[in-house]
Amino acid sequence: MQNFIEISDISKTYWSADGKTETKVVLPLSMTVAEGEMVMFLGPSGCGKTTLMRMVGGLETPEAGTIALRGERLAGPDRRRGMVFQSYSSFPWLTVRDNIRFGTRYRRDLSKAEKDEITDHYLQMVGLGRYRNFYTNRISGGMRQRVAIARTLASSPDVLLMDEPFGALDAQTREFLQFQLMDINTREKKTTIFVTHDVEEAILLANRIVIFSSRPARVIREIDVDALIPAEDRRAGTADMPTFFDLRAEILKIIREEYKHSLEDA
Amino acid sequence: MPQSLFAFRKSLDRRTEMVLGVLGFILFLSAWHLTAVSGAIRPEFLPTPLAVAEAFVRLFTERGFAEDIVISVGRVWFAFLLSVAVAVPLGLYMSTYRVVGAILEPFIDFVRYLPVPALVPLLVIWFGVGEASKIAVLWMGTFFQLILLIADDTKRVPAEYVEAGHTLGASNGEIMRHIIIPAALPNMIDNLRITLGWCWTYLIIAEIVAANSGIGHVIWSLRRFVKTPEVMAGIIAIGIIGLLTDQAFRYAHRRAFAYLRK
Ligand SMILES: Nc1ncnc2c1ncn2[C@@H]1O[C@H](COP(=O)(O)OP(=O)(O)OP(=O)(O)O)[C@@H](O)[C@H]1O
Ligand SMILES: [Mg+2]
């Protein structure tokens, strides 16, 4: 597969306010993501996953190194990389439908009718047709996150960046949205980087899992989940259970070890 | 249902709020009336509410008070809008480009702490005793407060909204127009309402010091003849105008920002 996203030797250091203490968050790190691939980031808390993802999104500037999309070097944020935040970033002054339509607002190539069509398409896809005219502070957290996902998809990004998007949701809503995301992914083959702390979520959604070390983030393990458990089986709920649980146990062990390291360092 | 009236941190319906608001006025007027007729305070100092009401009518029929009101309201709104027209864009720039904030903030803080009444003599020297000096007093009193309030409202817009805008393909100008302003607008309008209230304080100061028209001038000139009922009627007129303006602002706020309704 072609290198759709190419991360080359990027690093990031944060400095304390007085400029005296440095926090190395990402040491020179390289990674590639193929077109249409769903990559799940796992790693101990505070290791730099959010920082790495924000650099890919152009919301944080790497200290050194480059990030390229289709061979083109990226700088600041733009419509090619859509971001779904953990906190609900839908706009309270717009209705559900207008929030989703906002995603199409800066697509200059589309006519008004096409924008409406796309809006309604994603409105239906996330199952919020009935709530189209509700303001987003009148709907539940899970619905708000669906609005944010639909809005991002409506903007038609090349890459979808999701930072613990289901982290704050209850188990049922989370499961529902995971399956919805799988559906979307089968249909649209959207290249996605997804940060999570939930190992089962990672196994369920991943083509590939990347596990990071404690800060500064290094890739300590990559797992080709597709090769172990076929995606169709995971979607259909017919995955081989022993394989699933072995994989889960293995990943948890790696992260647990890394977490201990991070405590020893502190 | 007394229980629901005292529901902890809950809202009441609009009708109940209205009735309670009127009740507050009735209680105040009753207490005033009883104190006045008890004879504890001489009527030159505390006339009855009825005497003040009569004076209120006399102000309009005998002294052309309506014209003074129009003049005062005109001064307040002219200065207020002039202040808004400059403070809103500057406040937006201050909170968007740190360089503008870094230049303006210390200076604004300095001016903000100067008591406006102390500036009146200077402003009269500069602008004379005509309309310009009154507008200048009001403008000085509100502009430097308003600009900081607007800048704060804008700064409080969540970073996620702005970042979402960037990743949806909006330019900086579009983020300002389509995200930051709509997000900050309800708080901005509230701050405009509060600032307009301050305008009245400075207006009366300006009209007492140097004017031959306006509500402040009328109140101040009647004082010389110890026409307590008329003086009180003039003060009450300011209260009524303030109340009406405030309610109009709140009504418009509720209509424009329906999504904030609980
Ligand atoms: N703006 C910032 N200024 C200074 N330090 C920061 C900043 N943002 C993050 N950090 C530090 O960088 C490190 C990595 O943070 P980051 O949010 O990327 O971790 P994470 O892997 O996403 O953690 P979590 O899983 O808890 O979300 C942390 O130690 C954090 O304290
Ligand atoms: Mg994070």
B43-77 pLDDT per residue, tens: 889 999 999 999 999 999 998 999 999 999 999 99
Residue B251 has pLDDT above 50, yes or no: yes
DSSP calls for chain A: --EEEEEEEEEEEEE-TTS--EEEEEEEEEEEEETT-EEEEE--TTSSHHHHHHHHTTSS--SEEEEEETTEEP-S--TTEEEE-SS----TTSBHHHHHHHTTTT-TTS-HHHHHHHHHHHHHHTT-GGGTTSBGGGS-HHHHHHHHHHHHHHT--SEEEEESTTTTS-HHHHHHHHHHHHHHHHHH--EEEEE-S-HHHHHHH-SEEEEEPSSSB-EEEEEEHHHHS-HHHHHHT---HHHHHHHHHHHHHHHHHHHHHHHHH-
Q: For the residues B15-34, what does the mean pLDDT come to?
A: 94
Looking at the fold, whether B33 and B87 belong to one and the same domain comes out as no
Residue % of chain A over a pLDDT of 70: 98
Per-residue confidence band for A37, with pLDDT thresholds at 50, 70 and 90: very high
Looking at the fold, whether B114 and B218 belong to one and the same domain comes out as yes
Looking at the fold, whether B185 and B55 belong to one and the same domain comes out as yes
Question: What integer pLDDT is reported at residue A244 of this predicted model?
Answer: 87
Query: A206-221 pLDDT, tens per residue?
Result: 999 999 988 888 899 9
Per-residue confidence band for A266, with pLDDT thresholds at 50, 70 and 90: low
Q: Domain ranges in chain A?
A: 1-77+159-173+189-266, 81-156
Min Cα distance B3 → chain A (Å) is 27
Question: What integer pLDDT is reported at residue A25 of this predicted model?
Answer: 82
Looking at the fold, whether B13 and B113 belong to one and the same domain comes out as no
Answer whether residue B84 is part of any domain.
yes
Q: For the residues A222-247, what does the mean pLDDT come to?
A: 87
Answer whether residue B176 is part of any domain.
yes
Per-residue confidence band for A2, with pLDDT thresholds at 50, 70 and 90: low
Per-residue confidence band for A194, with pLDDT thresholds at 50, 70 and 90: very high
Q: For the residues A154-174, what does the mean pLDDT come to?
A: 90
Answer whether residue B194 is part of any domain.
yes
Question: What integer pLDDT is reported at residue A214 of this predicted model?
Answer: 85
Residue A23 has pLDDT above 80, yes or no: yes
The total of structural domains in chain B comes to: 2
> Residue B67's domain is classified under what CATH number?
1.10.3720.10
Cα(A25) to ligand 1 centroid in Å equals 7
Q: pTM value?
A: 0.87
Looking at the fold, whether B8 and B114 belong to one and the same domain comes out as no
Per-residue confidence band for B194, with pLDDT thresholds at 50, 70 and 90: very high
> Using a CB-CB distance cutoff of 8 angstroms, which residues of chain B are in contact with residue A83?
163-164, 167
| Superfamily designation of domain A1-77+159-173+189-266 | P-loop containing nucleotide triphosphate hydrolases (3.40.50.300)
Atom of ligand 1 nearest to the CA of A47: 21
Closest residue by Cα to atom 24, ligand 1, is A45
For residue B29, the enclosing domain spans 3-37
| Inter-chain residue contact B167 with A105, CB threshold 8 Å | no
Cα(A17) to ligand 1 centroid in Å equals 15
Min Cα distance A106 → chain B (Å) is 6
Cα(A227) to ligand 2 centroid in Å equals 28
Query: B137-148 pLDDT, tens per residue?
Result: 999 999 999 999
Looking at the fold, whether B67 and B133 belong to one and the same domain comes out as yes
Measure CB to CB from residue A57 to each of B158, B167, B182 and give the nearest one: B167
A262 lines ligand 1 (CB under 6 A): no
Looking at the fold, whether B164 and B257 belong to one and the same domain comes out as yes
A159 lines ligand 1 (CB under 6 A): no
Looking at the fold, whether B231 and B160 belong to one and the same domain comes out as yes
Answer whether residue B73 is part of any domain.
yes
Looking at the fold, whether B33 and B53 belong to one and the same domain comes out as no
| Inter-chain residue contact B160 with A87, CB threshold 8 Å | yes
Per-residue confidence band for A20, with pLDDT thresholds at 50, 70 and 90: confident
A167 lines ligand 1 (CB under 6 A): no
Atom of ligand 1 nearest to the CA of A164: 27
Query: B73-128 pLDDT, tens per residue?
Result: 999 999 999 999 999 999 999 999 999 999 999 999 999 889 888 888 899 899 98
Answer whether residue B106 is part of any domain.
yes
Residue A38 has pLDDT above 60, yes or no: yes
Looking at the fold, whether B108 and B210 belong to one and the same domain comes out as yes
Looking at the fold, whether B30 and B53 belong to one and the same domain comes out as no
Looking at the fold, whether B57 and B157 belong to one and the same domain comes out as yes
* Average pLDDT of every residue of chain B: 91
Answer whether residue B42 is part of any domain.
no
Mutate to test the interface with A, among B163, B167, B253 (most CBs of A within 10 A): B167
